[in-house]
Chains A and B, each alone.
Chain A
Amino acid sequence: AQSVTQPDIHITVSEGASLELRCNYSYGATPYLFWYVQSPGQGLQLLLKYFSGDTLVQGIKGFEAEFKRSQSSFNLRKPSVHWSDAAEYFCAVGAPGAGSYQLTFGKGTKLSVIP
């Protein structure tokens, strides 16, 4: 069974500082990996996704993530955080290819930004 671990429940950073949110997955092969963001009172929005190829993927709002097979990780990064980035971030894993119907989310990391 696939699973996702986000080790940090809550992270606080200063505006302008760099950010890294951790995600570790468990899956027998290379899965499809996603990062979603949930702003307060909103639904989830896709930030970026990894299917194959280049292990460094770029997303919206200046975010990027790096897939590391050897570490079973897919960490999310941003070089300079803005106050509007305060939100909850979810990593998710899905089985690759057509016919994949179950998506497993991590428990989320809440990001607070200090002005």
Chain B
Amino acid sequence: EAQVTQNPRYLITVTGKKLTVTCSQNMNHEYMSWYRQDPGLGLRQIYYSMNVEVTDKGDVPEGYKVSRKEKRNFPLILESPSPNQTSLYFCASSQDGASDTQYFGPGTRLTVL
């Protein structure tokens, strides 16, 4: 089954404790991206990757890092989380960039205390 998986689905952590949210897709897609969803703000793009070892900033990259060492995986790293990063995070992938249909993961709800 074609899918995008994220782990963990729920995470409660404390300020400053490094964490990684994993994202994996099994569709051999070249493009992957991360979004955060906040009430009243919709989805905002954090980072995206056009292919292995090629990443770029989206609209709200501050406080986040990403890497793309393999085509299928695109982890989101918060090296020193802060409470304002409490949010719902979605990973998405597509074959042909932002102009193509995006396939979304189920989301990761992160709470930073």
Contacts and interface: CB of A to CB of B under 8 A. Distances in A.
A17 interface: no
Count class of interface residues, chain B: 20 to 34
Contacts of A36: 102, 104
A65 to B, nearest CB: 15
A102 B48 contact: yes
Task: State the main secondary structure of chain A at its contact with B.
Answer: loop
B33 interface: yes
A68 to B, nearest CB: 20
Contact of A97 (B99, B102, B105): B99
15 contacts: A6-B42, A34-B101, A43-B106, A44-B104, A46-B101, A49-B101, A51-B99, A94-B97, A94-B99, A97-B99, A100-B97, A101-B31, A105-B42, A107-B42, A108-B42
Please list the 9 inter-chain residue pairs (A to B) with the smallest Cβ-Cβ separation, ordered nearest first: A43-B104, A107-B42, A103-B98, A94-B98, A105-B43, A44-B104, A100-B99, A100-B98, A32-B99
